[in-house]
Amino acid sequence: MNHYNISNPTDYQQAYKKSVEDPKDFWEKIAKENFVWKKQWESICEHDFKEAKFTWFKGAKLNITENCLDRHLATKGEQAAIIFEPNDPKEDAQHISFNELHKRVCKMANVLKEQGVQKGDRVILYLPMIPELAVSVLACARIGAVHSVVFAGFSSTALASRINDCGAKIVITADGGFRGAKTISLKTIVDDALKETPAITKVLVVKRTSQTIEMIEGRDVFLQPLLDAASEQFEAEVMDAEDPLFILYTSGSTGKPKGMMHTTAGYMVYTAYTFKNVFNYNEGDVYWCTADIGWITGHSYIVYGPLANGATTIMFEGIPSYPDCGRFWEVVEKHKVNQFYTAPTAIRSLAKESLALVTKYDLSSLKVIGSVGEPINEEAWHWYDDNIGKNNCPLVDTWWQTETGGILISPLPGVTQTTPTYASFPLPGIQPCLMDADKKELADATAEGALCIKHPWPSMARTIWGNHKRYIDTYFSAFAGKYFTGDGAQRDENGYRITGRMDDVIIVSGHNLGTAPIEDAINEHKDVAESAIVGYPHDIKGNALYGYVILKETDNSPEQVKIEINQLISNQVGPIAKLNIIQFVPGLPKTRSGKIMRRILRKIACNEMDSFGDISTLLNPEIVEDVVKGKL
Ligand code: WT7
């Protein structure tokens, strides 16, 4: 039996049972019957948790772009693959058919080849949400180059560190990007970054804003003339199942971002499978995920998952508040969107606006609405369900991570009874468990602990680029024989409810921020001796950042220092990481081993100052009172 389409609770139970009892047969059937392969696999899954080695579909040969493009041409060549909705509603949307997308990808692949890009080379994509971004992603995959998309909101320093970490030689960027009423000077940021990246020899530039930019002779080239001259044919490279497909950076608990490396076959099978089922996508539907392709959500559920299913996927260049806060709903009406997938932070900000901005539009095309990126609070859940889904669309709260490649825990439309704030039940193939502090698995139906996954799944990241040891340490050492997600969760008859991060990662507006790189940026200020940041609950962002900063002797005004600190953060990490509150403190609570006790700082920032728990291991307990007194 093929379990590719799950349409009722019985299908789900059967598929889930099968996936646990015989995962190899389960995935083999799905892989065989729903994708095109150039050569079959020798085995389905081999794994070694201790060494963190995972192999899926060993020895199989394929090209993911043939699965996303070529195989659809005969049956739906003229159907829209991508609908591009520009930032400015006055600019026309573009319907890019599968035929057209195939042509554009082949042309881009030819250009990259001519520019010297070879199989295995890393290519940095620093682009706004324009069709060229999706085309470049797919062109890399077509020639077997490894794409690393860097979100175009990241600063030049963040861009440079990613370029250097993955050893890229080429960058594809744009002159600038439109974001609401603003224009972002992307090329200038690239120019700054490239002062620190000696290996980059080529920069291919898309014209989007037509603003004046500097072009460095020999290094910088406009893309369009090259594309115009390139052939529309490109024979897809034969890739191994485990060849790297992309590297995507995510924050960790040290300053250096982690380059999560995903490979080809398992990623393709799992993202396609989950896209089909979580969104209940059917032929002819129009699907819209509002994320940026700079995040994993965009990789898996704007580009690869939808296209592998021959779906029509919308790429939106703009922001939810431009020209006004009805933009999302205007686009839903305009393109008759059937599945809509966004983040809680967007929902919370739009829920603050007048309902007239929603009711003005016809949202009756919607069948499924989704949420991703952080826990969705009950109020936001209900607002979304009532006003957007009209209590008539299943709301899928999808839990997953950059590391997991695809959605692991989520309701399925028409299958799962949804409960606000619950990501609910694992998808077929996913075996979650909860662990206690003694590293024992909690077996009771109702429990709370560290969320782990006990069996490999096809789209899991295979390593951290250049640092396999860090991969083992971060994900496979806390609990032997299991993948540790870093999240805490509760479980009861409604399934799993994610409670939040257990490590030094803070999620702000759905963006995963590590404390370390932000503290590094603060500490660069010449007047700063030391700093620590924590998250505290915020109405719209979910969490906002609270910084505790120890100043050196200085003649500068504290207000000036605060401005400069946020400027540094903005330059080094990006504007999303700016601090909402900065408190100057005489010291930070530390353990004897010198580790900052963030737990205490978090409680102070959250106004939970009645009890600090055990502070007996503190080196300087008296400092706690000082920090409390100065609370802002
Ligand atoms: C972290 C991963 C998955 C793509 C976007 C974020 C949190 C994500 C949910 C959800 C509760 C969620 C977790 C996770 N998270 N989705 N539905 N409910 N928490 O990817 O940047 O790798 O962040 O986001 O804490 O570990 P990411």
Q: What residues does each domain of the chain span?
A: 9-489, 509-629
pLDDT band with cut points at 50, 70 and 90 for residue 594: low
Average pLDDT estimate for 565-594: 90
Q: Which of 61-75, 173-187, 527-541 has the lowest mean pLDDT?
A: 527-541
User: What separation in Å is there between the alpha carbon of 554 and the centre of ligand 1?
Assistant: 40
Q: Is the minimum distance from the CB of 258 to ligand 1 under 6 angstroms?
A: no
Distance (Å, whole) CA 329 – CA 22: 43
The reply to whether omega before 323 is within 30° of 0 (cis) is yes
In DSSP terms, 47 is beta-bridged to 54
pLDDT tens for 179-210 read 999 999 999 999 999 999 999 999 999 999 99
Domain 509-629, classified CATH 3.40.50.300, yes or no: no
Contact 587, 618 (CB under 8 A): no
Q: Which residue has the tokens 């001796």?
A: 529
Residue 147 main-chain phi, psi, to 5 deg: -85, 145
Q: Is the CB of 400 under 6 A from ligand 1?
A: yes
Cβ pair 336, 95 in contact under 8 A: no
What number does the ligand 1 atom closest to the CA of 510 have?
Answer: 6
Residue 487 and residue 501 in contact, taking contact as beta carbons nearer than 8 Å: yes
pLDDT tens figures, 382-418:
999 999 999 999 999 999 999 999 999 999 999 999 9
Q: Which residue in 321, 324, 315, 314 sits closest to 345, CA to CA?
A: 321
Instruction: Tell me: pLDDT of 288 over 90.
Output: yes
- CA 410 / ligand 1 centre spacing (Å): 12
What lies within 8 Å, CB to CB, of 615 at 6+ separation is 589, 597, 600, 621, 624
Short-list 628, 613, 624, 630, CA closest to 590:
624
Task: Find the mean pLDDT for residues 566-586.
Answer: 95
Q: How many angstroms separate the CA atoms of 135 and 464, rounded?
A: 25
Lowest mean pLDDT segment, chosen from 94-108, 288-302, 314-328, 500-514: 500-514
Judge whether residue 336 has pLDDT over 80: yes
Quick check: do 9-489 and 509-629 share a fold?
no
pLDDT of residue 553: 84
Among 512, 541, 576, the mutation site with the greatest number of ligand 1 atoms within 8 A of its Cβ is 512
Angle at 371 between CA 368 and CA 376, to 5 degrees: 130
Which pLDDT band, with edges at 50, 70 and 90, does 611 fall under? confident
Residue range 53-73: mean pLDDT, rounded: 98
Assess whether the C-beta atom of 401 lies below 6 angstroms from ligand 1. Answer: yes
Task: Tell me what percent of the chain is helix, strand and coil, each rounded to the nearest 5.
Answer: 35, 25, 40
Which residue is closest in CA terms to ligand 1's atom 7?
A: 374
Taking Cα atoms as reference points, which of 244, 269, 279, 312 lies closest to residue 35? 269
pLDDT value at 592 more than 70: no
Task: Give DSSP secondary structure letters for 99-168.
Answer: HHHHHHHHHHHHHHHHTT--TT-EEEEE--SSHHHHHHHHHHHHHT-EEEE--TTS-HHHHHHHHHHHT-
Distance CA 316, CA 286 (A): 13
Could you tell me the distance, in angstroms and rounded to a whole number, from the CA of residue 404 to the centre of ligand 1? 10
Give the span between the Cα atoms of 404 and 455, in whole angstroms: 12
485 CA: nearest ligand 1 atom: 26
* Helix segments in 422-514, DSSP class H: 468-475
pLDDT at 1 over 70: no
pLDDT (0 to 100) of residue 558: 92
At 305, the amino acid letter reads G
- From 399, 409, 508, give the residue whose CB has the most ligand 1 atoms within 8 Å, as the site to mutate: 399
- Which ligand 1 atom sits nearest the alpha carbon of residue 498? 11
Answer whether 60's CB lies under 8 Å from 37's CB: yes
pLDDT at 374 over 90: no
* CA of 423, closest atom in ligand 1: 17
Q: What pLDDT shows up at residue 326? A: 98
Among protein residues, the one with the nearest Cα to ligand 1's atom 21 is: 512
pLDDT score of 150 more than 70? yes
Our answer on whether the CB atom of 461 is closer than 6 Å to any ligand 1 atom is no
297 lines ligand 1 (CB under 6 A): yes
Hey, whose CA ends up nearest to atom 15 of ligand 1? 374
Query: Where do the H-state alpha helices sit in 354-409?
Result: 356-359, 378-383
Q: Return the higher-pLDDT residue of 251 and 198.
A: 198
Query: Does the CB atom of residue 424 touch ligand 1 within 6 A?
Result: no
Supply the residue whose CA is at minimum distance from atom 10 of ligand 1.
Answer: 399
The CA distances from residue 359 to 363, 383, 524, in Å, are 8, 13, 49
Mean of pLDDT over the chain: 95
Q: Could you give the CA distance from residue 566 to residue 525 in angstroms, rounded to a whole number?
A: 10
The CA distance from 98 to 66, in Å, is 11
Q: How far is the CA of 428 from the centre of ligand 1 (A)?
A: 19
Is the shortest distance between the CB of 291 and ligand 1 below 6 Å? no
CATH topology of domain 9-489: Rossmann fold (3.40.50)
CA dihedral angle for residue 460, residue 463, residue 464, residue 469, rounded to 10 degrees: 130
Closest of 313, 389, 316 to residue 347, by C-alpha: 389
pLDDT of residue 255: 63
Q: Is 283 exposed, middle or buried (0-12, 13-18, 19+ CB in 10 A)?
A: exposed
- Helix axes 515-523 and 558-572, enclosed angle (nearest 10): 130
Q: How confident is the model at residue 148 (pLDDT cuts 50, 70, 90)?
A: very high
Q: Which of 54-63, 263-272, 495-504 is the least confident region? A: 495-504
Whose alpha carbon is nearest atom 17 of ligand 1? 399
pLDDT, one tens digit per residue, over 79-88 is 999 999 999 9
Is the pLDDT at 71 greater than 80? The verdict is: yes
Which atom of ligand 1 is the closest one to the Cα of 297?
Answer: 4
